[in-house]
Amino acid sequence: MNALRCLLDTPRLCIWYDPVNDWLYNQWLGYHDDVSVLACTQAISACLRAQPCPKILSDHSQLSGNWLVASPFVGQQGLAQLATQGVTYFAWVYSPCYADRLAMEQALSYSLAPIVNIFDNLADAYEWLQRFPGQRSRVEAGTACASPNTSPPSQADHPALFS
């Protein structure tokens, strides 16, 4: 992943835009709970408004913690919000932490869009995501992407990201 442009760099979440593949790469770091996962979900949406793209590679390989209580929200609203913002394909890389795997699978049971696949490693997720064209989700019909002047989330807006 060369030539990535950093959109957000916090102790819990780093988000880069990959212009070669036209996707966001989200790297989740350290301990997460329900509160931090909800804050990170909002941060990803804000970064997507700043840099619209049709695919997301979400890497939980360095995540620990338990966010099972937030999984219905992530599945029903978080992923749906990404679809309305134009995300068509979402590759999710498992954490070695069993609680994260369980929360991911529960979140998917609530999700209708975008198309999501879960992987044990980053390389397989990357390869899967590259197979798909960079077309925006049809769920976005009638919604406008944010202007290029939209900025990523700040510490004041999302303190759980920075703690």
Q: Which two tokens stand for residue 77?
A: 């609203």
Top pLDDT among 108 and 94 is at: 94
Mean pLDDT of 140-154: 35
Which residue in the block uniquely carries the two structure tokens 């620990």?
64
Q: What is the pLDDT of residue 146?
A: 30
Taking residues 25-37, report their average pLDDT. Answer: 90
User: DSSP readout, 51-120?
Assistant: S--SEEEEEEEEEEE--GGGHHHIIIIIHHHHHHTT--EEEEEPPSSHHHHHHHHHHHHT--SSEEEEES
- Measured from the Cβ of residue 20, the count of other Cβ atoms closer than 10 Å reads 10
Residue 116, CA distances (Å) to 12, 34, 93, 119, 149 in order: 22, 21, 11, 10, 29
pLDDT per position as a tens digit, 97-138: 888 888 888 888 888 889 998 999 999 999 999 998 765 544
Instruction: Decide if pLDDT at 92 tops 50.
Output: yes
Mean pLDDT of all residues in 85-92: 93
Q: Where are the domains of the chain?
A: 5-162
Please check the confidence at residue 37 and state whether its pLDDT lies above 90: no
Contact 29, 11 (CB under 8 A): yes
Residue 107 is predicted with a pLDDT of 86
The token pair at 106 is: 């529960």
Give the H/E segment covering residue 47: helix 34-50
Predicted pLDDT of residue 108: 83
- Please give the pLDDT value at position 93: 95
- The mean per-residue pLDDT over the stretch 4-14 comes to 93
Q: How far, in Å, are 12, 56, 62, 100 from residue 105 at the CA level?
A: 21, 17, 18, 9
- Classified by CATH at the fold level, domain 5-162 comes out as Rossmann fold (3.40.50)
* pTM (two decimals): 0.79
SS3 39: helix
> Residues 6 or more apart from 8 whose CB is under 8 A from it?
14, 15, 43, 47, 152, 153, 161
